[in-house]
Chain A
Amino acid sequence: MAPSSGQQRACYVYGILPEDIELGSGMTGVGDPPGQLRVVRSDDLAALVSDVDPARPLGSPDDLRTHKEILDSSAAEVPVLPLRFGAVMAGDDAVASELLQPFHDEFSAALDQLDGLAEYVIKGRYAGPRILEEVLSENSQAQRLREQIRGQDPDATRELRIQLGEIISDAVSAKREKDTRELLDAMADHCAESFVREPTHEDDAVHVAFLVETGQEQEMEKVVEDLTRKWEGRAELRVLGPMAAYDFVGTTQPGG
C-alpha cells in the first residue's frame, strides 16, 4: 500500500532476479547519501532495491555507475531483468504487490530464458586516418570536392564542405554496416542472440550487444582478437561485460 504521507523515503528499484539470491554485505545504492541495498521478495522472485529521498534528483555519474554495477555484478551468476535507470516506487509493499506479483509469470518466464546467459557489448571505433583514406580512395567525387575546398576561406566553402562531409558520412555508414555484418557473421555461432545498437558516435565502427552462454566467452574473445588483428590501425575494439541483459529485455506491454 502507499506509504503514509510525509514519509521522506521511496524505493529505488534496480532489477528483478530469482528469489534465491543473497546479497554481499554492506552494499549501498544510488542517491546521496546512498541507502543500503536490499532485497524485496515475493514468491520465487526478488527485486533489488534501496531507499532514496524522492525530493533529491538522481543521475550523478556515481548514481549511473552504481545502478549498472549492482546489476552487472549479478549477471554473470544469475539471470537478472534490469530496469531502466530511474525506477522509483512508493515502498517495499508496492514493489511486491504492484510489480512482482501482478507480472510474476512474465518476469519468471523471462528469467528462465536468460538463465545461463550474459550480455556483452562489442564496441568498435574507427581510429586514425585510415578509414578516411579508405573512403577517399573509393570515392572520386569526394576527392574532387576536397581539392575544391582546400586552402579556401571556410565560410565561402561551407556548402561544399557540408556536401563533402555528407558523402564521407554516408560512406562511413556503409563501412559501419559492412563491418557490423562481419562481426555478426563471426559471432553467429557463439551467441544466443544479438542486437545491433544505434551508433552513438560518428566514428563508431561496430556497436553490438550479444547474449553469450556462460562458457562461450572464450570463443567470443577469439572473434574479437581476430578482428582486432584484421582491423589493426583502422578500428579499435572493446568488449564490455558481462552485464545484465539490458538489450534483450523487452517491455512487451504497449504502455496502455
Chain B
Amino acid sequence: MTTAVQPGGGNAARPSPSGLADVIDTILDKGLVIDAYVRVSLVGIELLTIDARIVVASVDTYLRFAEAVNRLDISQEKEGLPGLVGKLEEGGAKHKTKGAIEAAGDKLRDFAGDAKERAYSRGRGGEG
C-alpha cells in the first residue's frame, strides 16, 4: 500500500515556485488526451482556458526586440564591444524597470501587455 496522494505534495516535494503560466504550459497541451481513448461516455465541458503562449517569431516579437535593442545605452556604435560593455551595464541597470528583456516573470502579465500593444498598433493603422 502506498500513500501517494497528499495535500501539499507530501515530503518528497522540493520547493519549486510554479506560477500559473508554468501550470498552463504543462497541463493544457500535454498529458494523455482522453478522447483518443473514450468516445461514448465523454462529457463535453466548456473550458475557460486561454492560450497565453507568445508566438516567438512574429512582427510583434521583432518590434519588441528592436525596441529593447534601441533602449540599450550604447553611445559609441563604431567601437568594438570590449569598451562598450561597462557602459551597457550601466544603461541596462538604469532602464531595467521598463526593459522589455528584463527577467519579466509572469507570462500572463506579458500576454496582457502584448495584447495592449497589438491593439495600439492596430489603432494607428500600423499593421500591414
Contact = CB atoms under 8 A, between A and B. Distances in A.
Contacts of B81: 133, 136-137
B117 interface: no
Contacts of A23: 5
Nearest to A27: B7
Size band of the interface chain B makes with A: 35 or more
Contacts of B7: 24, 26-27, 73
Contacts of B5: 21-24, 27, 37, 48, 70, 73-74
A98 B41 contact: yes
B65 A22 contact: no
B4 A74 contact: yes
Contacts of A13: 34
Interface string A77-118: 110111111111111001000110011000000000000000
Contacts of A15: 31-32
Given A10-B45, A68-B27, A85-B27, A161 B63 contact: yes
Interface in A120-170: 121, 123, 125-133, 136-137, 142-143, 146-147, 149-150, 155, 158, 161-166, 168-169
Contacts of B32: 15-16, 81-84, 87, 249, 251
Given A17-B4, A82-B27, A94 B40 contact: yes
Given A64-B49, A68-B27, A83-B32, A239 B6 contact: no
A33 to B, nearest CB: 16
A206 to B, nearest CB: 13
Nearest to B73: A129
B72 A89 contact: no
Interface of A: 2, 10-11, 13, 15-18, 20-24, 26-27, 37, 48, 52, 54, 57-61, 64-65, 67-70, 72-74, 76-78, 80-91, 94, 98-99, 102-103, 121, 123, 125-133, 136-137, 142-143, 146-147, 149-150, 155, 158, 161-166, 168-169, 172-173, 197, 199-204, 217, 236, 238-244, 246-247, 249, 251, 253, 255
Interface of B: 1-10, 12-14, 16-18, 20-38, 40-49, 52-54, 56-57, 59, 61-70, 72, 74, 77, 81, 84-85, 88-89, 91-92, 96, 99, 101-104, 107, 110, 124, 126
**Top 3 A-B pairs, shortest CB-CB distance:** A165-B62, A94-B41, A59-B48
Given A22-B5, A64-B23, A72-B13, 8 more contacts: A24-B6, A52-B45, A58-B45, A64-B49, A77-B2, A89-B43, A127-B101, A217-B14
